[in-house]
Amino acid sequence: MKKLSFSFFIILFPLLGMAQNFGLEHDTIFSSKSVDFFTFYLPNDFYNDSGQDLQLRWVKEAVIENYEVGGHGGQNNTGLWDYSIQDPQNFYTDGAAVDSADFVLQSEVNTLDKFIVQVYPNDVIGNVFFSFSIYEIGNPDNIIQVHFDYTATASTSSSSFPISDLGINVFPNPVSDALQFEMNQEQIIDISIYNHLGHSLIEQRLSTKNDVIDCSGLTNGMYFIQTIQDKKVYIQSFIKQ
């Protein structure tokens, strides 16, 4: 009887050890920044110990939102923040519209193999907690849980302003190639366009009432236009598709 029990343990232990052969660097990502930041995130790196490509699926299990209601009519609203979701193969601009997605985790992971939730607080103080499960398709026991806990605190500096405050109309949105800038008067404006990672991709000076920035070389996704005038930061988002 002892021999049978010991043999069962020897067989079972490796099976339990094989249940999870991939994961993320952190179980929970915490980030707290001033509400001045138009976007913030922290990347979470995958690892793959299986020795083979894995067909994985992430599922959004929960989004718990808590906002400071002052300035919003006393309503305890949800959806005041926007957020995007990125896995190793895809970037979902509107994260609220996607509840799950499939992707492949390569056997040899690289610097692009990350799971990221990026938030856009929209000048709203608050906290949002995200919970996800990620599992191997066809082997649901090979599963991990990951959480993102983001807080936007009260402003510590002057807030950003919409570009329209400068008398500039930016269109179309979404854009496929030419982004139009229509100004109510001639002025010199230095424009920077950033991607969702905060990298500056385009720098251009505008000097006429009707000007254009070529966005045809940008990949599809969300971008941010920024200019600084009189020590004030002016920002507008747009989507390339």
**Which has more confidence, 233 or 50?**
50
Q: Structure pTM?
A: 0.59
The token pair at 35 is: 């509400």
Q: What pLDDT, on the 0 to 100 scale, is given for residue 68?
A: 74
Token representation of residue 239: 């989507």
Separation between Cα atoms, residue 212 and residue 208, nearest integer Å:
10
- At 72 the pLDDT is 38
Q: What is the mean pLDDT of residues 158-165?
A: 76
Fold of 161-240: Immunoglobulin-like (2.60.40)
pLDDT digits (tens, 9 = 90+) for 12-45: 334 344 458 999 999 999 888 877 777 888 889 9
Whole-number pLDDT of residue 4: 37
Strand 210-214 versus strand 168-171 pairing type: unpaired
Instruction: Give the domain 20-153 fold.
Output: Immunoglobulin-like (2.60.40)
pLDDT in tens, 96-140: 999 999 999 999 998 889 999 999 998 888 889 999 999 999 999
Our separate counts of H helices and E strands in the chain read 1, 18
Do domains 20-153 and 161-240 share one topology? The answer is: yes
Residue 87, pLDDT above cutoff 90: yes
**Which secondary-structure segment (H or E) carries 132?**
strand 126-136
Domain ranges in the chain?
20-153, 161-240
pLDDT tops 60 at residue 233: yes
Question: Buried b / exposed e across 4-27, counting CB within 10 Å, b at 16+?
Answer: eeeeeeeeeeeeeeeeebbbbeee
pLDDT at 74: 37
Could you give the C-alpha distances from 187 to 94, 162, 232, in angstroms and in order? 34, 17, 16
pLDDT of residue 6: 34
| Closest-CA residue to 220 (of 174, 188, 183, 181) | 174
Cis peptide before 174 (omega within 30 of 0): yes
Residue range 41-69, pLDDT digits in tens: 888 999 999 999 999 999 999 999 988 75
